[in-house]
Amino acid sequence: MCVVRRRSSSPAPKSRARLATSTKSKAPVVRSFYDGTSKLPGPSNQNQQVITKAPAIGLRFTDDLPSKSQIFDHWKDRLPGLGITIDWGQPGCWACGFHYGARYGIKRLGTGWHEILRCWDNIPLQRCHIIPRSLGGTNEVANLFLMCRECHDLAPNTSILEVFFEWAHAQDWDARESARILAALESFGIHSTDYHDFNEVIISDGFTSWMSTKFGLHRPQSNCAPVSSRLTPATLVGLVVHYRRLSRR
């Protein structure tokens, strides 16, 4: 199987959160529980991450778009020429690089072409118009791009192709997540001098056990999110701050 690696493919999601540093933005990054195949700490299955496909919007919606595998087949050899590389065996957003862990990836070497296409059809990415329909864009595969919901909502709405592809090439999920984590840390007054201690708390068994019954997964209130539910940065950071305060009493 031929595999093209994405320009800044992020590592497989970890099952335990930790504080790290983004190689691009140098902002602190809390590695949350983004692996849809592993359970979050907790006594019940309500803490299982859920990744689902977005539902159709009522009966007025008609799916007349090409399949995701058809879009992938059209673009797989064209994207590198635009400076965008993808991993055929690890389907993910063509803009920011977000992927959904091992759940939708190729499980073994030597996988046949049919299985590769099946994986691309199953991935919960959206089929996004490069030139929007309102500006004369068509439903042809050449005008469709596979992106996560967040990138779909953030993408430029223009008839100028160069603008779209320049934007897509600049996206980075790690940098975005770094910004969200940094904002959460600042909200709770956590500064760079606290990062080491903060990280030690996150990876400790005591904190993991304590937090297991004190959090829930948030379901985004709009389509602007790459997953359907997640442990928000503010939840994790807030719990660490509270746990540290209790430990110091």
> 94-118: per-residue pLDDT in tens?
999 998 877 777 777 677 888 889 8
User: How far is the C-alpha of 139 from the C-alpha of 52, rounded, in Å?
Assistant: 24
Q: Which domain holds residue 192?
A: 19-51+174-248
User: How far is the C-alpha of 141 from the C-alpha of 73, rounded, in Å?
Assistant: 9
Q: If pLDDT is split at 50, 70 and 90, which confidence band does 57 have?
A: very low
Considering the domain architecture, whether residues 182 and 159 belong to the same structural domain is answered as no
SS3 of residue 61 by DSSP? coil
For 63, 183, 203, 214, the CA distances from 188, given in Å and listed in that order, are 44, 9, 19, 18
Considering the domain architecture, whether residues 39 and 93 belong to the same structural domain is answered as no
Is the pLDDT reported for residue 80 higher than 50?
A: yes
Which among 153, 149, 176 is positioned nearest to 10, based on CA atoms?
176
State the pairing for strand pair 19-21/144-147. Answer: unpaired
Which of 149, 170, 191 is the last residue before a domain boundary? Answer: 170
Task: Write down the residue that tokens 């009522």 correspond to.
Answer: 58
The total number of structural domains that make up the chain:
2
| pTM for this prediction | 0.68
Is the pLDDT reported for residue 15 higher than 60?
A: no
